[in-house]
């Protein structure tokens, strides 16, 4: 899976080099992308300040928007670019993000919340 400046990410077939799925929905460059430990979910972070959760078919299942976004409910994303995303090693429901706002956030999809914000 790869992130791109064209506001998408792609899931590739390594053997053929063909695109298996194209993930569209971010409104700015996709900076970070990661697979869940069970290889069933993909998470992306973008310069549009959103975090998106996808299935491997390219369907967006959840968008976590920045604070102050219209209609946003918990959890909330970062105040700036989302520059890194990763799932925890043992869970397909917990992931960590980092943003240019200097915050690191821990999300728990099972509880649908941002369980921690780490600020230097």
Give the pLDDT score at 79.
81
Strand 113-118's sheet: what is its strand order?
82-87, 94-99, 104-108, 113-118
**Could you tell me the two tokens for 4?**
């791109």
Give the pLDDT score at 15.
96
In this structure, the strands spanning 2-3 and 94-99 are unpaired
pLDDT digits (tens, 9 = 90+) for 60-119: 998 888 777 776 556 677 888 999 999 987 777 889 999 998 889 888 887 765 666 666
Portion of the chain with pLDDT greater than 70, in percent: 87
């Amino acid at each position: 899976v790869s992130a791109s400046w064209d506001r998408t990410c792609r899931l590739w077939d390594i053997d053929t080099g063909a695109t298996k799925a194209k993930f569209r929905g971010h409104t700015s460059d996709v900076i970070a992308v990661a697979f869940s430990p069970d290889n069933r979910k993909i998470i992306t972070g973008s310069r549009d300040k959103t975090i998106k959760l996808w299935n491997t078919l390219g369907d967006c299942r959840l968008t976590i928007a920045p604070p102050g976004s219209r209609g946003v409910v918990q959890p909330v994303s970062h105040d700036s670019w989302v520059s890194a995303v990763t799932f925890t090693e043992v869970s397909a429901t917990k992931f960590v993000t980092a943003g240019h706002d200097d915050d690191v956030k821990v999300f728990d999809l099972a509880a649908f919340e941002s369980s921690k914000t780490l600020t230097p």
